[in-house]
């Protein structure tokens, strides 16, 4: 029996593997990667490395075994048909007879285009008949704190979210929830709505940045159309810019407020405050 993590060298996947190694022997963890060189350090620590690609179904042949617990981390290739990519793993899991397939999805309330692939994958997973856990991850602090350069350059937080609030948490928090499910019992056929303990507004985010930098960081609310244009101007492809601006529109509608308490309950502690993520990013 292995605990198998797809996308294991990605931002979230690496956190999951690191935290798994604190709880189970390395030989019980299989990291699924496209580029084995990126996982060399994990291999040195005794983690099993499997090379497979969502775009090449045959690479998953024989990779999974009966009794495995699998974490399917959603792909980030928005232009490659993510539901089809995820179906490859679901099919392999069903053929192998895995004990659990956990999937990193999006909040149930999210109607933005970003959520469409997640809903499609959830449907495929439920139709497969596999024991499943839906980890409906809310927004990550890092979605904002890893993109501080333009904010600090222009001394402004530009957004199209109006007065909407975001229940974000750190990647490490969401990883801890996945680890709790993969190493615990009784999570079969459960759906968890995951988000940070505190929902914040962009005005509060700008105020926190001002406090920590000692500079006056303004809040600059714009329309969704204007924000899309700004993102395209910053070099993002138009479809990606539209998806991100669409998320802000959802924030304005209150769709990224997650008040279930599931995340802090699963990890057994409060979620990481936004201020901590800001401090870490400014130090970095």
pLDDT, position 76: 79
pLDDT, position 81: 86
Q: How far is residue 69's CA from residue 120's CA, in Å, rounded to a whole number? A: 21
What is the domain extent for residue 44? 3-136+171-193+259-268
Tokens 């801890």 -> residue: 176
Question: Would you say 151 and 205 are in contact if contact means Cβ atoms under 8 Å apart?
Answer: no
Asked if the structure places residue 225 within a domain, the reply is no
For residue 42, the domain's CATH number is: 3.40.50.720
Question: Would you say 146 and 109 are in contact if contact means Cβ atoms under 8 Å apart?
Answer: no
Residue positions counted in the chain: 284
Q: How far are the Cα atoms of 100, 151, 217, 257 from residue 278, in angstroms, in the given order?
A: 35, 12, 13, 20
Asked if the structure places residue 177 within a domain, the reply is yes
**Beta-carbon contacts of residue 93 (< 8 Å; ≥ 6 apart):** 64, 68, 70, 72, 101, 128, 130
Confidence (pTM): 0.96
pLDDT, position 284: 78
Closest CA to 249 of 154, 113, 147, 155: 113
Asked if the structure places residue 145 within a domain, the reply is no
pLDDT, position 35: 95
Asked if the structure places residue 280 within a domain, the reply is no
In the chain, the number of structural domains is: 1
Asked if the structure places residue 16 within a domain, the reply is yes
- Per-residue pLDDT tens over the stretch 263-279: 999 999 999 999 999 99
pLDDT, position 150: 92
Q: How far is residue 35's CA from residue 7's CA, in Å, rounded to a whole number? A: 10
Question: Would you say 150 and 220 are in contact if contact means Cβ atoms under 8 Å apart?
Answer: no
Which residues in the chain show pLDDT less than 70?
A: 78-80
Asked if the structure places residue 77 within a domain, the reply is yes
Q: Greatest CA span in the chain, whole angstroms?
A: 57
HSE-CB at 6 with a 13 A cutoff on CA atoms is: 27
Asked if the structure places residue 91 within a domain, the reply is yes
Asked if the structure places residue 86 within a domain, the reply is yes
């Amino acid at each position: 029996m292995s605990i198998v993590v797809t996308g294991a060298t990605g931002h979230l996947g690496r956190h999951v593997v690191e935290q798994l190694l604190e709880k189970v022997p390395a030989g019980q963890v299989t990291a699924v990667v496209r580029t084995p060189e990126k996982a060399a350090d994990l291999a040195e620590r005794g983690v099993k490395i499997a090379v497979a690609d969502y775009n090449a179904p045959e690479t998953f042949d024989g990779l999974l075994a009966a009794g495995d617990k699998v974490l399917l981390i959603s792909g980030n290739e928005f232009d490659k048909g993510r539901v089809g990519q995820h179906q490859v793993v679901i099919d392999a899991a069903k053929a192998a007879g895995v004990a659990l397939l956990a999937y990193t999805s999006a909040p149930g309330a999210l109607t933005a285009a970003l959520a469409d692939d997640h809903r499609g994958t959830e449907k495929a997973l439920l139709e497969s008949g596999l024991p499943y856990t839906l980890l409906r991850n809310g927004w990550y602090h890092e979605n904002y704190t890893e993109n501080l350069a333009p904010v600090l350059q222009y001394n402004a937080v530009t957004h199209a979210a109006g007065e909407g609030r975001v229940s974000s948490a750190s990647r490490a928090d969401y990883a801890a929830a996945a680890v709790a499910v993969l190493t615990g019992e009784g999570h079969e056929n459960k759906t968890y709505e995951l988000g940070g303990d505190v929902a914040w507004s962009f005005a509060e985010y700008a105020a926190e940045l001002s406090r920590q930098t000692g500079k006056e960081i303004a809040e600059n609310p714009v329309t969704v159309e204007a924000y899309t244009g700004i993102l395209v101007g910053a070099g993002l492809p138009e479809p990606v810019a539209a998806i991100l601006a669409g998320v802000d529109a959802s924030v304005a509608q209150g769709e990224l407020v997650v008040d279930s308490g599931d995340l802090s309950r699963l990890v057994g502690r409060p979620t990481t405050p936004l201020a901590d993520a800001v401090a870490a990013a400014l130090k970095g």
